[in-house]
Amino acid sequence: MSAPGAHLQADGLSWQAAAAHIVRDVSLHAAQGEFVGLLGPNGSGKSTLLRMVYRVLRPAGGRVRVAGRDVWQAGARESARAMAVLAQEGGGAFDLCVRDMVLMGRTPHQSPFARDSDEDLRIAAEALERTDTAHLVERMFSTLSGGEKQRVLMARALAQQAPLLILDEPTNHLDVRHQFALMQLVRRLGLTTLAALHDLQLAAHYCDRLYLLQDGALVAQGTPAQVLTAKHIARVYGVRASVTPSAHSGKPVIEYLPDDLR
């Protein structure tokens, strides 16, 4: 089901609302097949940055290339074949059954007004199985819980079969088991992935590299061990933490320290 990953390169991205700079001269990249996490507190510019990558917001400065192609020089259909997006607000306006919601991911590969083919149905069914949502196929999307909706929207992104995945808080609304299942699935797919994440521990365990934002600017980048330090966490999140390597994986384990433990 998965396609080879595509290299993502964003250079000098900036965006502002009125006089406020939301994103300031941010550059990042994700190599083919790499899982890259974008971190930062609420209001740090993560979602705005992602919206510039997936062509919702035109940058005030800088550019985004996927497989060497400027995304703003590509048409909507070409862009949809190149990248699949799981946005925080996706799907809310549609009152479709789950099967039809996932089949929407096949639209970039179809001719105008074409009916869903047997291949489209097979790909959608596989995406539903992979996201543990096949049992919801006849349900109306609007009747699902928040976590179920999130997994169905992930199935739609997978059905798109794009080489680049853009995920904005993909584990939002998910219980612990489905958080792990989704992150493991992304790793197994081997697609190039850029994901905005709130959970630092999930980012530490699953991401190859991380970018840390504060007030719209990059303050750290590198491996999870390089970025998720006690110093960086205190500076950006205003929380004391102890960070130690896991005895099982060697990856950072973060223990937050309440103020009364000072």
* pLDDT at residue 158, as a whole number: 96
Round to whole Å and give the CA distance between 19 and 41. Answer: 21
* pLDDT at residue 55, as a whole number: 94
* pLDDT at residue 13, as a whole number: 97
Q: pLDDT digits over 138-159, tens only? A: 999 999 999 999 999 999 999 9
* pLDDT at residue 116, as a whole number: 87
Question: Are the C-beta atoms of residues 253 and 245 closer than 8 Å to each other?
Answer: yes
* pLDDT at residue 1, as a whole number: 39
Q: pLDDT digits over 196-209, tens only? A: 999 999 999 999 99
Task: Tally Cβ neighbours within 10 Å of residue 173.
Answer: 15
Instruction: Supply the CATH classification number for the domain 8-224.
Output: 3.40.50.300
Domain map of the chain by residue range? Answer: 8-224
* pLDDT at residue 259, as a whole number: 75
- Phi, psi torsion values for 65, nearest 5 degrees: -125, 140
Tell me the pairing of strands 8-17 and 61-66. Answer: antiparallel
Question: Are the C-beta atoms of residues 155 and 133 closer than 8 Å to each other?
Answer: yes
All residue ranges of the chain with pLDDT < 50 are 1-2, 262
Non-local (6+) Cβ contacts of 115 within 8 A are: none
* pLDDT at residue 89, as a whole number: 67
Question: Are the C-beta atoms of residues 64 and 9 closer than 8 Å to each other?
Answer: yes
**pTM above the 0.95 mark?**
no
